[in-house]
Amino acid sequence: MKKAVLLSIFYLFLIPTVVLAAFNYNSKEFQTVIQQLDMQGHADHDISTCSIKKVYYEEVIEALNQGQSEKEILKSYIDEYGQAALRTPAADGSGIIAWITPALGFLIGAVVVGFGIKKLTNKNAGKETELLDKVEMTEMEREIVEITFEEERKKHF
């Protein structure tokens, strides 16, 4: 009888701690995990209309209530979906490649465009000087051009 009473008291003290350990959508741990997950591209959708986001929320709540840590939950999603499970890539291994590739692509593109513009302007500049050298005006044409320039200058000044 004494054991039954002590066991009952022990369970009465245990029940509130189990209830207090339950996580919900507003708990800090839950929000920390959810903010890091991409949820297969549904992270920015409204939970009331997105069934995939609801599934993720329920899975994370269930995992937290089972006692898994934030790192364990994230690791399980990374193991299942790879780095695509996270909103931002990790800073190790393949995550570094994901961070560097866009910047590297931009730099390579800028260099290619820069060389293309330089080559194009050098090519065009050479043609213009060649054309001016090849075109020789006669004395009569040169006088007409000078008179025209002089008349235009007088109009504007």
Residue-wise pLDDT for 88-106, tens only, equals 766 666 667 777 889 999 9
> CB burial class (10 A; 0-12, 13-18, 19+) of residue 77?
buried
Q: Band of the pLDDT at 110, cuts 50, 70, 90?
A: very high
Report the amino acid identity of residue 94: S
Q: Band of the pLDDT at 127, cuts 50, 70, 90?
A: low
Could you tell me if 89 and 83 are in contact, meaning their C-beta atoms sit under 8 angstroms apart? yes
Please tell me the distance from the alpha carbon of residue 34 to that of residue 17, in angstroms, as a whole number.
24
pLDDT on residue 64 = 92
pLDDT on residue 135 = 62
Output the pTM of the full model: 0.48
Structure tokens at 5: 């009473």
The mean pLDDT value for 141-150 works out to 89
- Total Cβ atoms within 10 A of residue 104: 11
Please tell me the distance from the alpha carbon of residue 54 to that of residue 24, in angstroms, as a whole number.
13
pLDDT on residue 11 = 66
pLDDT on residue 119 = 87
